[in-house]
Structure 1
Amino acid sequence: MRDLDLKHHFAALGVDPAAVDLYRRLLEDGSVAPEQLSAHGGAGGAEGVEGADALISSLVASGLIAPDGNAAGRYVPVPPEAGLRLLAGRREGQLNEATVAVQRAYREFRRQTRPASADHPVEVVTGPAILSRLKQAEDHAEREIRRLDSPPYYRTRTANNTELDHLARGIGYRVVYSQASLARENYLDGNILPSVKAGEQARVLPSVPVKLSIIDDTVALVSLSISDADVNRTLLIVRPSTLFSALVGLFEVCWKSALPILPSGDVGSSIEPVEQRMLGLLASGLSDEDIVRTLRISRRTFFRYLEKLQARAGVSTRFQLGVYAARHGWLPGEPA
């Protein structure tokens, strides 16, 4: 059986690697019992029948396998759609919990703030001072900048020369973009793709809960509101504290939940560059209209490419195309 590299894809949904090993074996063998796993050295590190039982229980709970109705004590894989929806729902729940935790931490900060305290870990910046404070914080980066990116933007220009300079000096960037970022005119070609080419790790979510930049482990820059305040006039600067730790946790949950923006690596000469980009944008959740505008192609050309890819994969729906693309290396696995 072809190695589908399931660990990479299931890792984003929080499935234990040992459970993925067992799932792969079930896909290969069709049916298996816990004592068989124990007799052959376990599955993915499971030790004995007890360890195999634990892995089987986790896969049953995930909706990926079920008891074999034709053989007592044995288990078989089941169609994955319901299980995958369950796993994705759990990850979304974790993201919601992290968002609530940050909001609670901020409300607690507002209750306890004393304006006369000069050494308070949170500072509010407004008006023209925002741009200079942003630049000052970014210029002090030494290792990594983590960012949740969403409109509106403090700068009107598209290209991010500061990030390109940092990447050239070896400073890492991990950025989670909202779909609204990708839909902004010229932002994908003028900002995101040049940064990715220079070394940025980029992923996308349907939306991000807050605009956020974390500079190393020293300072976080976050908009005071999540949706409807004038974020271009107010910025929250957070230094190491309970709130800072909550913001770091929020970013990491968003990062694990997000999808890579574009296909990476060599997928063979049979896939054209525009088709690679289209697959990545489809996986990112952009609408047909946004993809057509981003790729600068007509709707007729878009559907022609889509039909061509579906025919090549031998499928009839976009969901089936996504599954085929993931299994055959047309889409990236989970980066380390």
Structure 2
Amino acid sequence: MLEAIGLDDEHTAVYRQILRVPSASVDELAAAAGMTPSLVRQIIEDLEGLGLLARQASAPDRVVGSPPSLALRPMLLERERRLTQAHEALVQLSELYRQGAAQRDAPDVVDVILGTDAVRQRFAQLQASAARQVRVFVLNEVAFLDASENEEEERALRRGVRYRVIVEKAVLERPGFIDAVRESAPHGEEVRVLPTLPTRLIIADDQVALLPMRSHGDERASGALLVHPSGLLDLVMAIFEEFWAVSTEFGSEGEMPGSHDGIDRDLLKLLLLGLTDAAAAAQLGISLRTVQRRVAELMETAGVTTRIQLGAEAVRRAWV
């Protein structure tokens, strides 16, 4: 709650507990907060240094909380002052950058980013700076950053940034893919699928794009190209929109009639996208025999005798 002034959850919990009582000892606070006495003792020293608590005059081994309006207000005002200064610096630096960008020659619309760490940093920065939408190509093999490490995407989705993501079909076989799609969909992420994609790509708003220097070969992750506003960026965005228009939607719209666990719709989508029964079973966390049984049941429900007919009927009935 008080991260903005530098207090983590543990410091906040101890401070809140101190405010609840007239005074408290280390052991009492440790028991109430579920922490070790040594940790609470260190937190008390930190809070005392910040002026958030004081020692009880009659019992120095006990502490009392300082009034929040008195102790926290100066800290908040100082933070606000620093944020104001940072904002003013941002405006000035942005104007300098704008003036410099206006003088760019044609070769200067592209920056070369060298080194894996530098590429990952730019990848995170683009998402952190996005205000409206992020557009992404996800290849099965080439990646700026592993999905489990991409914390900026979650933060961006929480603040309302829309994500439009096109993945290669092979990505559907990654463990947990469907669960990840289900979790992110309510927050504004749309996922579509194509058999293959030409390169990894991320576009932040309409301002900048990042793509690998090489899409194939041993050096594919060693560098990237950062494309600034220009005709080249317009072309990159237009290519994304062309791919988006012909890609296949992948999302979970809810349960199908007669489906009790929501698996049938996802199973149909995976099979229509070309996954084998075994790959679909692994993605859904069910057995191969269960996949085959569910497909047979769907064929019976649809009144068809072949899987091709099942696919056509599933589309006609809006099951997928």
State the distance in 1 between where 2:161 and 2:312 align. Answer: 34
State the distance in 2 between where 1:305 and 1:326 align. Answer: 17
Contact preservation (8 Å) 2:182, 2:251? no
State the distance in 1 between where 2:123 and 2:276 align. Answer: 32
Residues 171 and 156 of structure 1: is their aligned pair in 2 closer, same or farther, counting only changes over 3 Å? closer
Contact preservation (8 Å) 2:255, 2:261? no
Residues 187 and 328 of structure 1: is their aligned pair in 2 closer, same or farther, counting only changes over 3 Å? closer
1:174 paired residue among 147, 161, 164: 164
2:110 paired residue among 97, 102, 122: 122
Residue identity matched to 2:145: R
State the distance in 1 between where 2:313 and 2:111 align. Answer: 49
Q: Which runs of 5+ in 1 are unaligned?
A: 1-115, 332-336
Alignment of 1:216-295 (within 5 A): 216-265=205-254, 267-270=256-259, 272-295=261-284
Q: Structure 1 residue 186 and structure 2 residue 176: aligned?
A: yes
How far off its partner does 1:286 sit? 2.1
**Structure 1: which 4+ aligned runs deviate by more than 4 Å?**
116-119
Residues 119 and 271 of structure 1: is their aligned pair in 2 closer, same or farther, counting only changes over 3 Å? same
Residue identity matched to 1:227: H
Deviates more, 1:295-304 or 1:256-265: 256-265
State the distance in 1 between where 2:260 and 2:251 align. Answer: 13
Q: Which runs of 5+ in 2 are unaligned?
A: 1-103
State the distance in 2 between where 1:199 and 1:321 align. Answer: 31
Residues 295 and 209 of structure 1: is their aligned pair in 2 closer, same or farther, counting only changes over 3 Å? same
Q: TM-score, normalised by structure 2?
A: 0.62
Larger Cα-atom Rg: 2
Percent identity, aligned pairs only, is 33
Residues 131 and 118 of structure 1: is their aligned pair in 2 closer, same or farther, counting only changes over 3 Å? farther
2:121 paired residue among 132, 153, 160: 132
Hey, what does 1:325 align to over in structure 2? 314
Q: How many residues align?
A: 215
Q: TM-score, normalised by structure 1?
A: 0.59
Residue identity matched to 1:324: E
How far off its partner does 1:143 sit? 0.6
State the distance in 2 between where 1:298 and 1:266 align. Answer: 20
State the distance in 2 between where 1:185 and 1:270 align. Answer: 23
SS of 2:257's partner is coil
SS of 1:173's partner is strand
SS of 1:158's partner is helix
Deviates more, 1:165-174 or 1:228-237: 228-237
How far off its partner does 1:194 sit? 2.1
State the distance in 2 between where 1:220 and 1:256 align. Answer: 19
2:130 paired residue among 126, 131, 141: 141
State the distance in 2 between where 1:287 and 1:241 align. Answer: 43
How far off its partner does 1:159 sit? 6.2
State the distance in 2 between where 1:316 and 1:227 align. Answer: 42
1:204 paired residue among 189, 193, 200: 193
Contact preservation (8 Å) 1:262, 1:276? no
Residue identity matched to 2:244: W
Contact preservation (8 Å) 1:147, 1:212? yes
State the distance in 1 between where 2:316 and 2:120 align. Answer: 44
1:314 paired residue among 303, 306, 316: 303
Residues 226 and 131 of structure 1: is their aligned pair in 2 closer, same or farther, counting only changes over 3 Å? closer
Hey, what does 1:161 align to over in structure 2? 151
Question: Which of the two has greater helix per residue?
Answer: 2
Residue identity matched to 2:173: A
Hey, what does 2:17 align to over in structure 1? none
Cα displacement string for residues 99-150 of structure 1 (whole angstroms, at most 9, x for unaligned residues): xxxxxxxxxxxxxxxxx97981101112121111111121110111011111
Residue identity matched to 2:187: A
Contact preservation (8 Å) 1:137, 1:215? yes
Hey, what does 2:52 align to over in structure 1? none
Bigger RCO of structures 1 and 2 (CA < 8 A, at least 6 apart) = 1
Contact preservation (8 Å) 2:161, 2:188? no
